[in-house]
Amino acid sequence: MADFQNIVGKALSDEAFCKELTSNPTKALKDNGVTPTPEMIDALKGLDTKAIQKLAQAFGKGPAGA
Amino acid sequence: MYMWNPPSYPNVREQSCLEVEKLLGTLPLELFMPSISVQIKAGAHSLPSSELKHLLQDVRDGSYPVLDFHLWLLEDLKVPDSRLRRDLEKNLLTYSILQVFIFFIHSIGFKFGRAYGKDFFLFSNLLMNHADGILAATEGVQPKIFEFSRKFWGEYSNEWLVSQSIQKWDLPLSDLRFLQIGHKWSPVKIAPLAAALAFEKHEALEDLLAVLDRLNSVIQIREEVIDLKKDGLKGILTYPIARALKAIGIAPSPQFEMDTVFGSLLLTKAIPDLLQECMSVAEDCELRLQALSLPSFASYARQLKGQLLSLADLYNVNASSKKDSEESAAPWEFIYDPQPKLDAAIAQAERFLLSDTSFRESWEVHRWGLFGCPELSSSIFHSALILDNLAASGTKRTDLIADTILRYQKNNHQYFDQPNPLPPDIDTLGILLRILRQASAPPELLQRFEQPLQWLERHALGDGTLPTHFCLDRPGYLTRLGVNRCAVVSANLLLGLIGLDTSRFRPLVLRSAAKLFRQVAESGMNCVKQYAHSFGIWILLELKQALWEKEWAEPIREAMFAAEKALLEQFELATAKADLKCLDAAFLILIQSQHQQKPYEARWLETILGKQYTDGSWDAEPFYVMPAMDHLQDWYRSRTMTTSFCHLALKTRAQFIAFAGSSPNII
C-alpha cells in the first residue's frame, strides 16, 4: 500500500504521469510496478487533473519545485 | 472573497520606523551584519525602497498583520485622541517591529537550520532589551505587562523547543494541542494587551486573549499548509504533514517521504478537512469579536476565513467533492521561496571546479618559512584528489589526470612542489594511485609509480604497519617522522593499491588492512589523526567496501565486518551533530548512498543547497591537519576542496534518485 501512495504522489511532480494516472489508472499503476486492486482504482476515481496541476503550480514550478 | 482594507496609520508608522532606524544606526560595529541580514529577511519581497517602513510593509499586509493589533484595539475601543494614546500607538508599534525582528532571527536559526553566530544571539538580546525598555517607559502598562510578557515569551520558547517532539502529533487535534500550535505567535498578544491595560479596558482582556490564542493557531496551521512542500523537502515534520501521513495510516515520523505525503494529498481530504476545522475556529472567533465590539479584529477573522476556504479549495483535487462558489474561485497566491534545484546546484559547482583547472585555490601554501623554505606549495595531491572526485561524479578529465601523474613523477614523488627536506609520503602516493584507474592509459602511466612502489615494499613492516614517509635513504628522518598513525592515510594508500588490481601488493594490502580494521574496531575514530571526522568514516567505509568485493580478501572479512559496525556507529553519531557543516553533510550523503539501511535525512541536502555561493562554490571548511606558523597545527581548508566533495555528494544523490526511479521530490 505504501508503494501505491508513493506512486500516486508522483502525480504532483510529473505532469505526464498525472495525466496518465487520471485517464488510465490501471496502466499507470502497472507501468510503475503496482498491481492495481479495485480499491486502488476506486480511490483514484474523481481525481481532477486540472486541480492537481493547479496545486502543483502553487507549490512551485518544475518537477521538484526544489 | 471578502476583502477588508484596514487603515494604514501612516504617521505612527513613520515615527516608529524612524526610531528603529536610529537604533539600528547606532549598533556596535560587530552587530551590523546580523542587523542587515534580518532587515533583508524582513524585506524578502520586491519593495519600492530599502527604508524600514517599506521593508515592514509586507509584514503588515502579508500573512499576519501583527504590527497593527494594538492600533486596531485602540480604534475599536474608541479611545479618544490624546498624548497618551499617541505615545502608546508609537511605542507599541516600535515594540512590535522589534518583536518581528526577533521572530525573524529565531526563524532563521530554528526553522531554516542556519548555523548563525554569536553576533545573531547578541543582536537578538539587544533587540529584546530595547523592546523591554520601551514597555517599561510606556505609561500605564506596568507592572502587569511584564507578567504577561514573560508568560507569552515562555509559551513561544516552549513551542519551539517541543516542536520536533513526536508526541506533539497525537491525533485528533485536541483543544490543548490546537492552542499550543499557536504559541509560536504568543508574543503578538503583548502589544494589544498593553493598549488595553493602559486605558483600563480590563473587561475585554480575557476574551480578547482567548480569541487571539485561537487565531494564532489558525494562522500557524495556515502557514504550515502553505509551506507544506517547502517544509517537507527540508524534512520538517509539521502538523499538516503529520495529518496527511496519519490519514493514510502512516505513523508520523521525521523519516517521511515527500511522495507519500503527496499521495495522501491526492487520496484523502486530510488538508481540506484540517482547513475546514480552522475555518470553524475562525468563524467562532469572528462571532466572539463581534460580541466584544471589536469590528477591526472581526473583519480580519472574516477575511481569514475566506483565505482558508480558498486554500482548502486548492487542496481539494477530487472533482466530485469540489464546490463552485464565489469565494472558492477567488485567487489566493502562495508566498513561496523556491529552493535551489539539485541539478542547477550540481551544474554550478561543476562550472566552478572547471573554471581553473590548476585548482590553484586548493593548494596548500606556506610562506612563513616551513622547513626553512621561503615558499612551499603543494599542488599535485590536491589536484589529484579533486580530479578523482570529479571522475567519480562522471566528469573524467583524462588529460588533467595524465598531466598530474607526470608532474608527480617529475617532482620526485614529493608532496611539496619546491625542493625541501621532507621525503616522499604515502598519502600523496595513495591519492595519485587512486586517479590512475581513471586515466585513459593506466598501464603506460603505471611505470611512473615504480620508484615509490619499490620504496613502499622496502618500508612496510611485516605486521602491515605502513610508513608515513619513505626515509630509507635518509634514516635520520625515520625516527622523527615515525610510522603512519592515521588510519585515513593508510586507507588512501590501500585504496590506491587495490585499484591497481595486481597480485604483487595483495599480501601487503591484506596485512595492512587487517591491522587497520582491528584498530578501527578497537579504538573507533581515535585512529583518525589527520583528517576531518566525517571524511574518515567515509574513506574507511570505502576501503571496507572495495575489499569486500574482492575474493582474495576473504581471510579478513571478520575484521572488515567488525570495523564496519564501529564505523556505522560513528556515522549514527555524526548524523546527530547539531552544527552540520557542508563537508559533514556531503560525507553523510556519500556514506548513506552505500549503506542504505541507515535512513537518509533531508537536512543533509538542505545544508549543502542552502549554503552554495553564487559562483557555485561552498565555504572553505576544515579538511586535514597541516603545519602552522610557530610549529603549531592548523586545519587546511579550501573552497575548491569543499566544493569538490559537495559536488560529488550532490551528484551521488541525484544518481540515486534517478536509479530509484523516483521523482526528485525524494530529495
Determine contact, residues B242/B211, Cβ cutoff 8 Å: no
Cell of B51: 527604508
The residue behind cell 591491522 is B515
Domains of chain B: 12-200 (no CATH), 226-338 (no CATH), 342-660 (1.50.10.20)
CA distance B114 to B576: 16
Contact assignment for B315 to A55 by CB distance below 8 Å: yes
Q: Is the peptide bond before A36 cis (omega within 30 degrees of 0)?
A: no
Which contacts (CB < 8 Å, 24+ apart) does range B330-334 have?
B330/B1, B330/B306, B332/B1, B332/B307, B333/A58, B334/A58, B334/A59, B334/B226
SS3 assignment, position B312: helix
Instruction: Calculate how close chain A gets to B4, using CA atoms only, in Å.
Output: 24
Q: Which of B26-40, B146-160, B299-313, B482-496 has the lowest mean pLDDT?
A: B26-40
Contact assignment for A55 to B662 by CB distance below 8 Å: no
Note which residues in 464-503 of chain B have CB less than 8 A from chain A. Answer: none
A47 DSSP 8-state letter: B
Average pLDDT over residues B392-406: 95
Q: Select from B317, B321, B336 the Cβ nearest to the Cβ of A55.
A: B317
Contact assignment for B263 to A55 by CB distance below 8 Å: no
CA distance B256 to B195: 44
Q: Is the peptide bond before B172 cis (omega within 30 degrees of 0)?
A: yes
B600 DSSP 8-state letter: P
Q: With cut-offs at 50, 70 and 90, classify the pLDDT of residue B271.
A: very high
Q: Which of B155-164, B359-368, B373-382, B425-434 has the lowest mean pLDDT?
A: B155-164
| Partners of B364 in the β-ladder | B378
pLDDT in tens, B307-356: 899 899 899 887 666 554 444 433 333 333 333 478 899 999 999 999 99
Residues with Cβ within 8 Å of B458's Cβ and at least 6 positions away in sequence, in order, are B472
Instruction: Calculate how close chain B gets to A63, using CA atoms only, in Å.
Output: 7
Q: Which of A49-63, B70-84, B268-282, B618-632 has the lowest mean pLDDT?
A: A49-63
Q: Which of B264-268, B324-328, B504-508 has the lowest mean pLDDT?
A: B324-328
Instruction: Calculate how close chain B gets to A42, using CA atoms only, in Å.
Output: 10
Name the percent of chain A lying above pLDDT 90.
14
Determine contact, residues B490/B465, Cβ cutoff 8 Å: no
Contact assignment for B266 to A12 by CB distance below 8 Å: yes
Q: Which residues of B touch A29 (CB under 8 A)?
A: none
The neighbour count for residue B117, using CB atoms within 10 Å, is: 11
User: Is A64 at the interface with chain B, CB within 8 A?
Assistant: yes
Determine contact, residues B391/B438, Cβ cutoff 8 Å: yes
Q: Which residues of B touch A3 (CB under 8 A)?
A: none
Cell of A49: 487533473
Of B595, B600, B597, residue with least CA distance to B544: B595
Determine contact, residues B201/B77, Cβ cutoff 8 Å: yes
Residue of A1, A10, A31, A44 to mutate for B, most B C-beta atoms under 10 A: A10
**pTM of this prediction exceeds 0.90:** no
Determine contact, residues B224/B656, Cβ cutoff 8 Å: no
Average pLDDT over residues B268-275: 93
Cell of B591: 556514506
Mean pLDDT highest for which of A4-13, B272-281, B527-536? Answer: B272-281
Question: Dihedrals φ, ψ of B6, to 5°?
Answer: -70, 155
Helix H segments across B501-635?
A: 506-523, 533-548, 557-575, 582-594, 602-610
Q: Which residues of B touch A47 (CB under 8 A)?
A: 266, 317-319
Distances B365 to B142, B369, B374, B521 between C-alpha atoms, Å: 62, 11, 11, 35
* B130 vs B632, higher pLDDT: B130
Residue of A32, A50, A55, A57 to mutate for B, most B C-beta atoms under 10 A: A55
How many Cα atoms sit within 13 Å of B356 on the Cβ side? 13
Contact assignment for B319 to A43 by CB distance below 8 Å: no
| pLDDT number for residue B483 | 62
The residue behind cell 479549495 is B313
User: Is A52 at the interface with chain B, CB within 8 A?
Assistant: yes
Return the residue of B nearest to A54 by Cα. Answer: B314
CA B15 to mean position of chain CA atoms: 38
Instruction: Calculate how close chain A gets to B495, using CA atoms only, in Å.
Output: 36
Return the residue of A nearest to B228 by Cα. Answer: A59
Q: What is the ipTM of this complex?
A: 0.89
| Partners of B425 in the β-ladder | B469
Q: Which residues of A touch B266 (CB under 8 A)?
A: 8-9, 11-12, 47, 52
Exposure string for B349-370, b = 16+ CB within 10 A, e = fewer = bbebbeeeeebeebbbebeeeb
| pLDDT number for residue B285 | 94
pLDDT in tens, B561-597: 999 999 999 998 888 877 789 999 999 999 999 887 6
SS3 assignment, position B9: coil
Residues with Cβ within 8 Å of B182's Cβ and at least 6 positions away in sequence, in order, are B213, B214, B215, B216, B217, B218, B219, B220
In which region does residue B636 sit, left (phi positive, over 0), alpha (psi from -120 to 50) or beta (all else)?
Answer: beta
| Complete DSSP assignment for B72-112 | HHHHHTTPPP-HHHHHHHHHHHHHHHHHHHHHHHHHHHHTS
pLDDT in tens, B464-501: 888 888 875 554 444 445 566 789 999 999 999 999 88
Contact assignment for A51 to B317 by CB distance below 8 Å: yes
Q: Which residues of B touch A7 (CB under 8 A)?
A: 259, 263
**CB pairs below 8 Å between A and B: how many?**
114
Angle between helices B582-594 and B533-548 (to 10 degrees): 20
Residues comprising chain B, all counted:
667
Angle at A16 between CA A11 and CA A19, to 5 degrees: 70
The neighbour count for residue B327, using CB atoms within 10 Å, is: 16
Which contacts (CB < 8 Å, 24+ apart) does range A18-24 have?
A18/A49, A18/A52, A18/A53, A18/A56, A19/A49, A21/A47, A22/A47, A22/A48, A22/A49, A22/A52, A23/A49
pLDDT in tens, B202-238: 777 888 899 999 999 999 899 889 889 888 887 788 8
Determine contact, residues B501/B549, Cβ cutoff 8 Å: no
CA distance B271 to B311: 9
Q: Which residues of A touch B248 (CB under 8 A)?
A: 1, 5
Q: Select from A6, A10, A48 the Cβ nearest to the Cβ of B318.
A: A48
Cell of B466: 605502513
Contact assignment for B662 to A10 by CB distance below 8 Å: yes
| pLDDT number for residue B163 | 63
The residue behind cell 571526522 is B533
* A39 vs B53, higher pLDDT: A39
The residue behind cell 616522499 is B424
Exposure string for B629-638, b = 16+ CB within 10 A, e = fewer = eeeeeeebbb
Q: Which residues of A touch B228 (CB under 8 A)?
A: 59
CA distance B604 to B208: 43
Of B245, B207, B204, residue with least CA distance to B228: B245
Contact assignment for A13 to B317 by CB distance below 8 Å: no
Average pLDDT over residues B11-25: 85
Cell of B354: 572547471
Of A10, A58, A27, A36, residue with least CA distance to B266: A10
| Partners of B366 in the β-ladder | B376
